Amino acid sequence: MAKPQVVVAPVLMSKLSVNAPEFYPSGYSSNYTESYEDGCEDYPTLSEYVQDFLNHLTEQPGSFETEIEQFAETLNGWVTTDDALQELVELIYQQATSIPNFSYMGARLCNYLSHHLTISPQSGNFRQLLLQRCRTEYEVKDQAAKGDEVTRKRFHAFVLFLGELYLNLEIKGTNGQVTRADILQVGLRELLNALFSNPMDDNLICAVKLLKLTGSVLEDAWKEKGKTDMEEIIQRIENVVLDANCSRDVKQMLLKLVELRSSNWGRVHATSTYREATPENDPNYFMNEPTFYTSDGVPFTAADPDYQEKYQELLEREDFFPDYEENGTDLSGAGDPYLDDIDDEMDPEIEEAYEKFCLESERKRKQ
């Protein structure tokens, strides 16, 4: 099979078509499978080939396991220059931070390619270039957290993608030991600082999402190093609840997060070490998988037998991130799994817990 000429095209952020029910990029090709089976000859540029595959994964996430190997093999025959590798990284990054619900799949894709792409130029291999791209966004975190609504929403998408990368990007040592990237752990800590330092409602919601996603793993890692970072984060949350001018709904979310952490993040047993954990020996194996919600509010993860069917239904619903009204007070947008359980008023148990929390915090301050 002859390898087509690589034409490096400038990478632009996908423009979403609001008329498309799944909010896929304009120009999305629904006949990916047919073109893919014919090989990459039908694609004049690397950009078009990769973008079509990313759109295909967005529509059919269950195809990852069956098609990722052939995709990586094709890339190994095509991505042979520094520019082509940079373009590949940028395409995946943009998809993972601009398309609803693709951050988890994007992180899985990045992990697979980091171990299966053979090109390793002087500028860095796939994983190194990916981390460099993330660092570019990370370095403007403080400005982004206090920017306008569009800037903050883009920043939040980056934060959650970095959380998924921390959970899914595997670093293999020379002795075969698998670990997580410590640099991402440090980065997530600083991103949380940026979010809590600018306690606007949407920043706090992003922090809650990130901690629900990564909190248990971060705390375990910090405890192994003798660090008290999670205690410091919980203290910051308590200060926000008492002092910040955020909405009552967001304060309720923060209180529920504190409650979740006090129950060991909902875990019933101590987790096995990272390299030894399996579905058979660890009841919390799927603990770090993202949690989604059906239209009826029923939670599900990758551990559920009918995960693919439920996930496909989720893709057909609205944006995973809520759209806020102009006055910024509408925080119960449909389709956000972290806000579905928020009512217009605090339920009695939460209200009582909030009152006890305030009294206890005030007592500690006077001591």
Nearest-angstrom CA–CA distance, 97 and 158: 6
pLDDT in tens, the chain (367 residues): 444 443 333 333 333 332 333 333 333 344 444 444 445 566 779 999 999 999 999 999 999 999 999 999 999 999 999 999 999 999 999 999 999 789 999 999 999 999 999 998 888 999 999 999 999 999 999 999 999 999 999 999 999 999 999 999 999 888 888 899 999 999 999 999 999 999 999 999 999 999 999 999 999 999 999 999 999 999 999 999 998 789 999 999 999 999 999 999 998 755 444 555 555 555 555 555 566 666 665 666 666 666 666 666 665 554 443 443 333 334 444 444 444 444 445 566 666 666 666 666 666 555 5
Closest CA to 196 of 217, 214, 211: 211
Is residue 102 within 8 A of residue 95, CB to CB? The reply is yes
Q: How far is CA 248 from CA 95, 134, 146, 251, in A?
A: 33, 33, 21, 5
Please give the pLDDT value at position 248: 92
Residues 273, 281 contacting (CB under 8 angstroms): no
Q: What is the pLDDT of residue 172?
A: 85
Closest to 237 in 3D by CA, of 212, 217, 220? 212
The DSSP line for 170-225 is EEE-TTS-EEE-HHHHHHHHHHHHHHHHS--HHHHHHHHHHHHHHHHHHHHHHHHT
Domain 46-266 has CATH 1.25.40.180: yes
Task: Name residues whose C-beta falls within 8 Å of residue 276's C-beta, 6 or more positions apart in sequence.
Answer: 282
Kindly provide the b/e burial profile for residues 230-262, where b requires at least 16 CB atoms within 10 angstroms of the residue's own CB.
beebbebbbebbeebebbebbbbbbbbbbebbe
Give the per-residue pLDDT at 177: 86
Residue corresponding to tokens 């997530």 = 188
Q: How many Cβ atoms sit within 10 Å of the Cβ of residue 125?
A: 15
* Pairing verdict, β 292-293 and 178-180: unpaired
pLDDT for 140-180, tens place per residue?
999 999 999 999 999 999 999 999 999 999 998 888 888 99
- Res 16: pLDDT: 30
Q: In this predicted structure, what is the pLDDT of residue 329?
A: 38
pLDDT of residue 292: 63
Element (H, E) at 159: helix 149-168
Q: DSSP assignment of 290-356, as one string?
A: PPEE-TTS-EE-TTSTTHHHHHHHHHTSS-SSPPPPTTS-----TT-TTTTT--SS--HHHHHHHHH
Q: How far apart are CA 340 and CA 332, in angstroms?
A: 7
| Residue 215 and residue 267 in contact, taking contact as beta carbons nearer than 8 Å | no
Helix intervals (H) in 79-124: 82-98, 103-116
Instruction: Count the Cβ atoms, other than its own, within 10 Å of residue 318.
Output: 15
What tokens were used for 326?
A: 């102009």
Tens-digit pLDDT profile for residues 308-357 = 666 666 655 544 434 433 333 344 444 444 444 444 455 666 666 666 66
In angstroms, rounded to a whole number, what is the distance separating the alpha carbons of residues 361 and 356? 8
User: Residue type for 321, please?
Assistant: F
What residue ranges do the domains of the chain occupy? 46-266
